[in-house]
Homo-oligomer: A and B are copies of this chain.
Amino acid sequence: MMQAEIIAVGSELLGPSRLDTNSLFLTRELQRLGVPVIRKTILPDQREVLAAAIADACRRTPLVFTTGGLGPTEDDLTVTAAAQALGLALRQDAAAVRRLRRRFRNRHARMSRNNLQQTMRLADAQWLPNPVGSAMGQWCATPRGALVLLPGPPVELHRMFLEQVLPRLKDKLPRAAIHTRVLSLVGLDESRVDSLAAPLYRRVSNPATSILATAPQQVELHLTASARTPGGARIRTDRLARQLTRRLGTAVFSQDRQSLAEIVGHLLRQRRETLAVAESCTGGLLGAALTETAGASDYFLGGVLAYANAVKANQLGVSAVTLRRYGAVSAATAREMAAGVSRRLGADWGVAITGIAGPAGGSRTKPVGTVFVGIVNRAGAPAHSVRFHFSGDRDRIRRSSVLRALNELRLALLASPRR
Contact = CB atoms under 8 A, between A and B. Distances in A.
A282 B15 CA distance: 32
A293 B394 CA distance: 8
Interface stretch (A108-116, A373-381, A410-418): A108-116
B14 A210 contact: no
A14 B28 contact: no
Given A304-B302, A311-B301, A155 B39 contact: no
A303 interface: yes
Nearest to A210: B11
Contact of A12 (B212, B302, B391): B212
A112 B191 contact: yes
Nearest to A52: B60
A132 B391 contact: yes
A45 to B, nearest CB: 7
Interface string A207-227: 000111100000000100000
Given A302-B306, A394-B294, A73 B211 contact: yes
A304 B307 contact: no
A124 interface: no
B12 A357 contact: no
A222 B296 contact: no
Interface stretch (A142-150, A284-292, A318-326): A284-292
Interface stretch (A16-24, A82-90, A168-176, A228-236): A16-24
Contacts of A398: 288
Contacts of A19: 19-21, 23-24
Interface residues of A, number: 104
A376 to B, nearest CB: 17
A31 B12 CA distance: 13
Interface stretch (A192-200, A245-253, A263-271): A192-200
A382 interface: no
A186 interface: no
A292 B393 CA distance: 11
A315 B344 contact: yes
A318 to B, nearest CB: 12
A315 B278 CA distance: 13
Contacts of A71: 190-191, 213
Contacts of A284: 277, 279, 283-291, 303, 305
Interface of A: 10-17, 19-21, 23-24, 27-28, 31, 36-45, 49, 71-75, 107-109, 112, 114-115, 132-133, 153, 155, 159, 180, 189-192, 194-195, 198, 210-213, 222, 277, 279, 281-297, 300-308, 310-311, 314-315, 344-346, 357-361, 389, 391-396, 398
Given A12-B222, A14-B37, A17-B213, 20 more contacts: A19-B19, A19-B21, A41-B41, A41-B42, A73-B194, A74-B194, A74-B198, A75-B210, A133-B392, A277-B284, A282-B288, A283-B288, A283-B292, A292-B395, A294-B394, A297-B308, A301-B307, A302-B311, A304-B305, A308-B345
25 contacts: A12-B212, A15-B31, A15-B222, A16-B24, A16-B28, A19-B20, A39-B44, A45-B210, A71-B191, A71-B213, A108-B389, A112-B191, A132-B392, A159-B393, A277-B284, A284-B284, A284-B286, A284-B288, A284-B303, A295-B360, A301-B307, A302-B304, A302-B308, A302-B311, A315-B345
